[in-house]
Amino acid sequence: MLLWHEHKAKVVVVSKYKVIDLFSGAGGFTQGFVDAGFEPVLAVEREKDIAATYAANFGSHVVARDIESLSETIDAGKFNLRADVVVGGPPCQGFSNLTGNRAGDPRRSLWRYFMNVVEASDCRVFVVENVPNMITSNEAQMLIKRAGKLGFRIDSGSVGVLLASDFGVPQNRRRGFIIGSRLGACGLPEPTTRNKKVSVWDAFEGIDPKVSYIDPPVVRPLLTKQLHIGRKPQPKSVLRYKAIGPGGNRTQIPPDLMPDCWKNKQGGTDLFGRLEWDGPARCTIRTEFFKPEKGRYLHPVANRPITHWEAARLQTFPDDFKWHGTKIRIALQIGNAVPPLLARAIADHVKKHLRVNKVRPTRRPKASDVQQLCLPLGQRESGASRAA
């Protein structure tokens, strides 16, 4: 996209830096980069309904295929796209403590295909996002080693864990980042809101604590603000909710209401936890935020779990963001996303790095270069599963 500025009858064309988003999901990373003035030229998302969400918000440059088969296209010499930046959050399940952090999980090897695109696109900078475990893994060391062979500089200041609430996200989400640059070490962005964090109260401004229990319209896409829909709880569940005060958790449930499986359970202090108005949410929004037994997902005052709209607000998605899929699939998209405001901080930092080094934006690719990456209708995809 070009911005046209008129001054004294002269037209100045300002080209934007180009970004490729791999494992794009709904487009949280892309949203942050677009807000920072980048132009997305390619997104790769394996799941078709999630790719439809991306397309509804950012355009038809999303390719619904797995990244392994895209690497086969690269090997065949049919990848002609160039970009200034490649970003991506490979599936975190292979590194997450919640799924065992198993060394043999095939999803841990997807970084190789990410780096294939980095190499083929001739980008100047790449950004990898994942759970903190990833950046200390053997896979991260192999990624950094390969990046070094391609001419990327990654020093200790370019690898680390960022707290989302330090960047305007009303949620204490910790994520690991690796930023590589062919222009010299890029480092990581400095916190922008460390001394004045956005609270749950701020995030839920304008949202009625009362919810609808009527399913949303069948027609898709749905706007974020159309997703203020609750699960109809059982009477016993409501009694449990009522027993938990602000900042409390399952330990406040009376013995006669406590499930047997929890009576001798150690740890898990976020389970059936209630959010507090003051300060960021003391939790990470995951894919099953609508189930209070999965974490600190009870509304600060209402006796119910948070809705999709409220979870999207905690992830900093716009109210007019468009979503495809079932309610469960939309929840998966919200929970798996890079919070757009955190992505914006990364994008602003990378953009400054490019400008300081006087990098001229890459030319926009031809539409046909993206179209030829699309799989023929009905072609099967291969490779490691990315099931959430």
pLDDT in tens, 181-206: 999 999 999 999 888 999 999 999 99
Return the pLDDT at 122.
97
Q: What is the pLDDT of residues 164-178, one digit of tens each?
A: 999 999 999 999 999
Active site residues: 92
Cα–Cα distance between 302 and 305 in angstroms, integer? 8
Domain 15-193+338-371 in CATH: superfamily? Vaccinia Virus protein VP39 (3.40.50.150)
Q: How many helices (H) and strands (E) does the chain have?
A: 13, 11
User: Domain segments of the chain: what residues?
Assistant: 15-193+338-371
When pLDDT is cut at 50, 70 and 90, the band that residue 129 belongs to is very high
Task: Tell me which residue of 89, 345, 333, 145 sits closest to 221, measured CA to CA.
Answer: 333
Class of residue 369 by CB neighbours under 10 A (exposed 0-12, middle 13-18, buried 19+): middle
Across the chain, mean pLDDT equals 88
Percent of the chain exceeding pLDDT 70 equals 88
Return the pLDDT at 382.
38
Q: What is the pLDDT of residues 9-43, one digit of tens each?
A: 454 456 899 999 999 999 999 999 999 999 999 99
Return the pLDDT at 99.
45
- For helices 138-149 and 111-121, give the axis angle rounded to 10 degrees: 20
- Neighbouring C-beta atoms of residue 38, cutoff 10 Å: 25
Cα–Cα distance between 263 and 258 in angstroms, integer? 7
Judge if pTM exceeds 0.75: yes
Strands (E), 8-101: 10-15, 18-22, 39-44, 62-63, 85-88
Provide the terminal-to-terminal Cα distance of the chain, rounded to the nearest Å.
33
Q: What is the pLDDT of residues 236-292, one digit of tens each?
A: 999 999 999 999 999 999 999 988 887 777 766 788 999 999 999 999 999 999 999
Return the pLDDT at 369.
84
Percent of the chain exceeding pLDDT 90 equals 70
